Structure 1
Amino acid sequence: MKKILFVVNVDWFFVSHRLPLALKAIEKGYEVHLSCALTDKKDYLEDIGLKVHPLNLSRSSVGLKGEIKTFFGIYNTLKEISPDIVHFVTIKPVLYGGLCTKFLNIDKKVFSISGLGFLFIKEGVKASFVRSIIKTIYRIVFSGNNTHIIVQNPDDKSLVNSITKAPTTLIRGSGVNLKEYKYFKENCENVKVTMACRLLKDKGVFEYIEAAKMIKQKFPMVEFGLYGDTDIYNPASLTNEEVDKIKKDKIVEIYGFNKYISKIFSDSNIIVLPSYREGLPKVLIEAAACGRAVVTTDVPGCRDAIEVERTGLLSKVKDPKSLAESIERLIQDNELRNSMGKAGRELAEQEFDINKVVEKHFEIYES
Structure 2
Amino acid sequence: MGVAACACCAARAQALASAVSPLHPRRREARRGSVTATPPVRAPLPPKRLLLLLNDAPFFVTHRLSIALAARAVGFEVHVGVPFEPRAVELIKGAGIVVHDIPLRRGARAVAGELRLLQAYWRLIGELKPDIVHAVTMKPVLYGGLVARLRKVPAVVHAVTGLGYLFLIGGPLAWVQRTLVLALYRAALGHPNARAIFQNPDDLDLFLRHRVVDRGITVMIRGCGVDTREFPYTPEPPGPPLVLFPARIIGDKGVREFVAAAGALKAQGAEARFRLLGRTDPDNPTNVTEAEVRAWEEEGIVEWRGFSTEMPIELALSHIVVMPSYREGLPRVLIEAASVGRAIVTTDVPGCREVVRDGDNGLLVPVRDAAALAAAIKRLLEDKKLRADMGARGRARVMAEFSVEGFVADSLAVYGDVLQDDQPAPAAA
Q: Answer whether TM exceeds 0.5 for this pair.
A: yes
The amino acid that maps onto 1:215 is: L
How does 1:166-185 map onto structure 2 within 5 Å? 166-185=216-235
In 2, distance between residues paired with 1:188 and 1:136? 53
- Do the aligned partners of 1:3 and 1:84 also contact (CA within 8 Å) in 2? yes
Secondary structure of the residue that 1:346 maps to in structure 2? helix
- Do the aligned partners of 2:348 and 2:367 also contact (CA within 8 Å) in 1? yes
**Match of residue 325, structure 1, among 375, 380, 387:** 375
Task: Indicate the residue corresponding to 1:5 in structure 2.
Answer: 51
- Do the aligned partners of 2:133 and 2:148 also contact (CA within 8 Å) in 1? no
- Do the aligned partners of 2:249 and 2:281 also contact (CA within 8 Å) in 1? yes
Q: Which runs of 4+ in 1 moved over 3 A?
A: none
1:137 and 1:65, CA in 2 relative to 1: closer, same or farther beyond 3 A? Answer: same
1:142-163 C-alpha deviation (Å, 9 max, x unpaired):
1242110011111011112232
The amino acid that maps onto 1:196 is: P
In 1, distance between residues paired with 2:62 and 2:174? 29
Deviation at 1:42, TM superposition (A): 1.5
Task: Indicate the residue corresponding to 2:70 in structure 1.
Answer: 24
1:201 to 2:248 alignment? no
1:131 to 2:178 alignment? yes
In 2, distance between residues paired with 1:30 and 1:242? 48
Task: Indicate the residue corresponding to 2:8 in structure 1.
Answer: none
Greater Cα offset, 54-63 or 175-184? 54-63
1:308 to 2:358 alignment? yes
Q: How large is the Cα RMSD of the aligned pairs?
A: 1.2
How does 1:31-46 map onto structure 2 within 5 Å? 31-40=77-86, 41-46=88-93
**Match of residue 101, structure 1, among 148, 154, 160:** 148
Deviation at 1:346, TM superposition (A): 0.6
Deviation at 1:188, TM superposition (A): 5.3
Deviation at 1:218, TM superposition (A): 2.5
- Do the aligned partners of 1:186 and 1:268 also contact (CA within 8 Å) in 2? yes
1:86-125 C-alpha deviation (Å, 9 max, x unpaired):
1001111111111112221212200001010111112222
Task: Indicate the residue corresponding to 2:25 in structure 1.
Answer: none
In 2, distance between residues paired with 1:180 and 1:12? 17
Task: Indicate the residue corresponding to 1:355 in structure 2.
Answer: 405
The amino acid that maps onto 1:313 is: L
- Do the aligned partners of 2:357 and 2:364 also contact (CA within 8 Å) in 1? no
- Do the aligned partners of 1:288 and 1:344 also contact (CA within 8 Å) in 2? yes
1:164 to 2:210 alignment? no
Greater Cα offset, 18-27 or 344-353? 18-27
Task: Indicate the residue corresponding to 1:221 in structure 2.
Answer: 271
Secondary structure of the residue that 1:143 maps to in structure 2? coil
- Do the aligned partners of 1:36 and 1:53 also contact (CA within 8 Å) in 2? yes
1:119-176 C-alpha deviation (Å, 9 max, x unpaired):
1112222111100111111112212421100111110111122322141111111110
Task: Indicate the residue corresponding to 2:420 in structure 1.
Answer: none
The amino acid that maps onto 1:65 is: A
**Match of residue 131, structure 2, among 56, 70, 84:** 84
Secondary structure of the residue that 1:359 maps to in structure 2? helix
**Match of residue 232, structure 1, among 254, 258, 282:** 282
- Do the aligned partners of 1:188 and 1:269 also contact (CA within 8 Å) in 2? no
* Larger RCO, structure (CA 8 Å, separation 6 or more): 2
In 1, distance between residues paired with 2:299 and 2:248? 20
Seq. identity, %: 39
TM-score (ref. length: structure 2): 0.83
Greater Cα offset, 70-79 or 340-349? 70-79
Task: Indicate the residue corresponding to 1:246 in structure 2.
Answer: 296
The amino acid that maps onto 2:163 is: L
- Do the aligned partners of 1:188 and 1:334 also contact (CA within 8 Å) in 2? no
- Do the aligned partners of 1:3 and 1:31 also contact (CA within 8 Å) in 2? yes
Runs of 5+ consecutive residues of structure 2 not aligned to the other structure:
1-46, 418-429
In 2, distance between residues paired with 1:101 and 1:322? 46
Deviation at 1:22, TM superposition (A): 1.0
